[in-house]
Amino acid sequence: LENSSMSSRPQLYDFHGVAMTHCVTDNREKVKNFQARPDDILIATYPKAGQSNNMYKQVLQFLSPERQSFIPIFERVPFLEIAISTVVPADIDGFLTKISCLTLKSHFTLKIMVYVARNAKDNMVSFYHFDHMNMVQPEPGEWSSYFQRFLDGQMLYGSWYDHVGNWWNKTKTYPKLHYMFYEDIAEDTEREIDKLCSFLRLSPSAEDKKTIVELVHFDNMKNDDMANCSKLNFLDFKISPFLRKGKVGDWKNHFTVAQNEVFNEDYKSKMKDPTLRFRTEI
């Protein structure tokens, strides 16, 4: 992406019933044709589900013998569907065949191994700030209109409710899917790393586990140029950092009392599965 083109923002359009942009859908054929191998690991989230996404990428790469900490995270863990050369190599097919154990990230609803979910209120706020600084996503507009678009599901990748709900439903029939919550990670990172390692049948040493916990601490990732995406030229860090706060409950600094009441009523009507529970504070 050339800097001269950063002034123009893409528009959302309907792609089989889900709001998308061309930089995502233009790579769809390669995504459809992608053949995962038995030891491939894919990580999925709704956009801006928190630094947990980066945390998992760091954990998996640390535990991989091919890890290279001097390579930016978006190159070590390619974004499967996005059609931007600085995020996914142009020769994606050739790139994939050169890696013995591949870790990919995606926001598409696919049957993959690790899904990370974040409560809708904080997810909305994080997505809002990200859309401001991400020049390849649509203009977010004012907070009040953004708030309503989120409730209506008129967001890139569609409805938060559909995304987190569809993945949760898959856990009931698909044993290779590990569903994690951002709030749990914030509350006890070491515990959640233990769960992830157990799921992947990994047994890191006590020393390695300590290193991982330090590595994925929010402040450490925020200051690590190999993890904070500072080398992506379509992100405007003068507006906002990619890793902004990493807090549970930041929504309280954005939601008005009236918006919180509207959101809570909307949530009650749309969150039908009582077994899927999110915390908006810890």
Task: Chunk the chain into consecutive blocks of 10 residues (it has 282) and report each block's average pLDDT, rounded to whole numbers.
Answer: 51 76 70 66 75 56 53 54 45 35 40 80 92 81 96 92 92 88 91 87 84 77 64 70 80 97 97 95 94
Q: Does the residue 168 lie in any domain?
A: yes
Whether the CA torsion 240, 242, 247, 250 is positive or negative: it is positive
**For position 69, what pLDDT does the model report?**
54
Question: Burial, 230: exposed, middle or buried (Cβ in 10 Å; 0-12, 13-18, 19+)?
Answer: middle
**For position 151, what pLDDT does the model report?**
97
Q: Which two tokens stand for residue 96?
A: 């994939």
Does residue 281 contact residue 147 with C-beta atoms inside 8 Å? no
**For position 257, what pLDDT does the model report?**
98
Does residue 61 contact residue 227 with C-beta atoms inside 8 Å? no
Q: Does the residue 65 lie in any domain?
A: yes
- The DSSP secondary structure of 139-178, one letter per residue, reads ----HHHHHHHHHHT-STTS-HHHHHHHHHHHTTT-TT-E
Does residue 132 contact residue 239 with C-beta atoms inside 8 Å? yes
Q: Does the residue 226 lie in any domain?
A: yes
Residue 164 identity (one-letter amino acid): V
CATH number at residue 197: 3.40.50.300
Q: Does the residue 270 lie in any domain?
A: no
d(CA 63, CA 68): 11
What is the DSSP code (8-state) at residue 101?
S
* Domain span at 88: 13-119+157-231
> Which one from 16, 22, 107, 178 is the annotated catalytic residue?
107
Does residue 246 contact residue 52 with C-beta atoms inside 8 Å? no
d(CA 94, CA 277): 41
**For position 202, what pLDDT does the model report?**
79
**For position 105, what pLDDT does the model report?**
43
Q: Is 163 a catalytic residue?
A: no
Q: How many folded domains does the chain comprise?
A: 1
- The beta strands (E) that lie in 157-235 are given as 178-181
Q: Does the residue 134 lie in any domain?
A: no
